[in-house]
Amino acid sequence: MPDRLVVRTVPVDDPGDLVARLPHRQSVAWVRRGEGLAGWGEVARVSIPAGEDRFTAGEKWLAELFDGAEVTDEVGVPGCGPVAFGSFTFDPTSDGSVLVVPAAVLGRSSGRSWLTTIGDRYQPSLEQVAPARGPAGLRWHDGSLTAPQWENAVSAAVARIQAGDLSKVVLARDLCAAASDEIDARALLARLAARYPDCWTFCCAGLVGATPELYIRREGPVVSSLVLAGTTPRGGSAADDQKLGAALLASAKDVEEHQYAVADVRRALAPLCDRLDVDARPSLLRLANLQHLATYVTGRLAAPLVPGHSDALGERASALALAAALHPTAAVCGTPSGAAMELIRELEGMDRGRYAGPVGWVDADGNGEWGIALRCAELDGPRARLFAGCGIVADSDPEAELAEAQTKFRAMREALEG
């Protein structure tokens, strides 16, 4: 860890496509509808060991790093000054959680653009860089379980739910690809951002994806969350689209699955807020390839978090602390969460790593955005490991769940294939 960060944020002209400005493969990004943050270079990084305290350990590391920073901020909006990008493992028993502080961050929000640099000597160029090349020579193969094996796992989960062991569990599967050369995350980011502008396109330490689900956004005392659970494809026409959406809204199975996820978010945020507003009923969120049941949650944080206590990154809970309070929701784990986590370990046959864990960014004031790492792939040189998961309840059909998982793989498959 460097002894002291010297940080400067200055306004810049609109840089255009943030992803197109990333100068090399080792980049971080969080972009939606052309706004967000894109960073490169690396001032500091920490790999956080497995454990229930991995979020607390990350906050402690950041507090030590940011507290002594010398910061000049000429813009003064969330995402300015020193920023850390992070992604955390889904399961507390898994290693792999990471926080990265880039040397340069280019940001855009609400008509304002800025550049943050760390270090007196670092003067990055904002010239357009050559487009990254997509992977070539892709070969696909099964992940930890074949399709029939995964269907058997779904059947076993349904039996356990019907026996009363739990109400819902989310089962995921993986799919693997190998290219002829190292995969450049920037090419995948560009394709995902263009095709799924309503998702949060992200990259952190080799984890790349476009998630539709926002765990938490914190801007000062104001927080918001987008809860998704319950999925159906898009239709081939407007009429088909409307018919599929109406069926999703009327589906007892999907509405039940969704209600569990909303209850988890309400339960986690209510003790931290002096006001919390939750949509009375779900609405439809239509993305490029899927429709989801969606509930919007907004609130105002109480301060301080606990009487007489100050959060590591500010009086109110930081965006990272809020993500930790929310994880894991029923949308990615199940309910009750303890029983669901044990069943996932028993039936999935794999370590999820950072799939379905929190991914996002936090600044020195505790502002930030954290999503759930969905529709993503873990890159390792020429290899990519893709993930997709489905919520399983008492009347889930294994064949239908497999079809849903295949649909959810499509975003990353097409990003890799071009």
For the chain, how long is the longest CA-to-CA vector?
64
Task: Give the C-alpha distances (Å, rounded to integers) separating 100 from 117, 145, 194, 271.
Answer: 14, 32, 25, 30
Task: Please tell me the predicted confidence (pLDDT) of residue 315.
Answer: 66
196 within a domain of the structure (yes/no): yes
Query: Is there a contact between 320 and 370 (Cβ–Cβ < 8 Å)?
Result: yes
Report the pLDDT averaged over residues 391-408.
94
129 within a domain of the structure (yes/no): no
25: left (phi over 0), alpha (psi -120 to 50) or beta: alpha
Task: Please tell me the predicted confidence (pLDDT) of residue 307.
Answer: 46
* Omega prior to 102 cis, within 30 of 0: no
For 190, the 3-state DSSP assignment is helix
Task: Give the number of C-alpha atoms closer than 13 A to the C-alpha of residue 330, restricted to the C-beta side.
Answer: 25
3-state DSSP of 249-317: HHCHHHHHHHHHHHHHHHHHHHHHEEEEEECCCCEEEECCCEEEEEEEEEEEECCCCECCECECCECCC
Write out the H or E segment, with its range, that includes residue 57. Answer: helix 54-67
Nearest alpha carbon to residue 191 among 210, 213, 214: 210
Write out the H or E segment, with its range, that includes residue 28. Answer: strand 27-32
209 within a domain of the structure (yes/no): yes
Least confident of 15-24, 120-129, 302-311: 302-311
- CATH number of residue 202's parent domain: 3.60.120.10
Report the pLDDT averaged over residues 344-364.
97
324's tokens? 């930790």
179: left (phi over 0), alpha (psi -120 to 50) or beta: beta
Q: At 313, is the pLDDT very low, low, confident or very high (cuts 50, 70, 90)?
A: very low
Return the bridge partners of 285, or none: 292
Report the pLDDT averaged over residues 43-59.
96
Q: How far apart are CA 330 and CA 6, in angstroms?
A: 41
Least confident of 3-17, 174-188, 352-366: 3-17
Task: Please tell me the predicted confidence (pLDDT) of residue 119.
Answer: 83
Least confident of 59-63, 115-119, 295-299, 309-313: 309-313
Least confident of 33-37, 83-87, 230-234, 365-369: 230-234
Q: At 311, is the pLDDT very low, low, confident or very high (cuts 50, 70, 90)?
A: very low
Residue 222 has pLDDT above 80, yes or no: yes
Per-residue pLDDT of 145-178, as tens digits, reads: 999 999 999 999 999 999 999 999 999 999 999 9
145's tokens? 């379980």
26's tokens? 């080792």
Q: How far apart are CA 322 and CA 311, in angstroms?
A: 11
Q: At 4, is the pLDDT very low, low, confident or very high (cuts 50, 70, 90)?
A: confident
114 within a domain of the structure (yes/no): yes
List the catalytic residues.
Answer: 168, 213
Greater confidence (308 vs 299) lies with 299
For 406, the 3-state DSSP assignment is helix
Domain span including residue 321:
6-123+137-417
> Within 10 Å of residue 345's Cβ, how many Cβ atoms?
14
88 within a domain of the structure (yes/no): yes
| Average of per-residue pLDDT values in the chain | 92
132 within a domain of the structure (yes/no): no
Write out the H or E segment, with its range, that includes residue 323. Answer: helix 319-326
Residue 305 has pLDDT above 50, yes or no: no
Query: Is there a contact between 144 and 348 (Cβ–Cβ < 8 Å)?
Result: yes
309 within a domain of the structure (yes/no): yes
221 within a domain of the structure (yes/no): yes
For the chain, what is the domain count? 1
Nearest alpha carbon to residue 28 among 14, 4, 12, 45: 45
Task: Please tell me the predicted confidence (pLDDT) of residue 123.
Answer: 63
Written as one letter, the residue type at 288 is A
Least confident of 16-25, 302-311, 367-376, 377-386: 302-311
Residue 227 has pLDDT above 50, yes or no: yes
Task: Give every CB contact of residue 313 below 8 A, 6+ residues apart in sequence.
Answer: 59, 62, 63, 66, 320, 321, 362, 364, 365, 366
62's tokens? 């950041």
Is the sign of the CA dihedral 402, 229, 331, 336 positive or negative? negative
Task: Give every CB contact of residue 68 below 8 A, 6+ residues apart in sequence.
Answer: 3, 4, 5
Task: Please tell me the predicted confidence (pLDDT) of residue 35.
Answer: 97
Written as one letter, the residue type at 233 is P
383's tokens? 């290899």
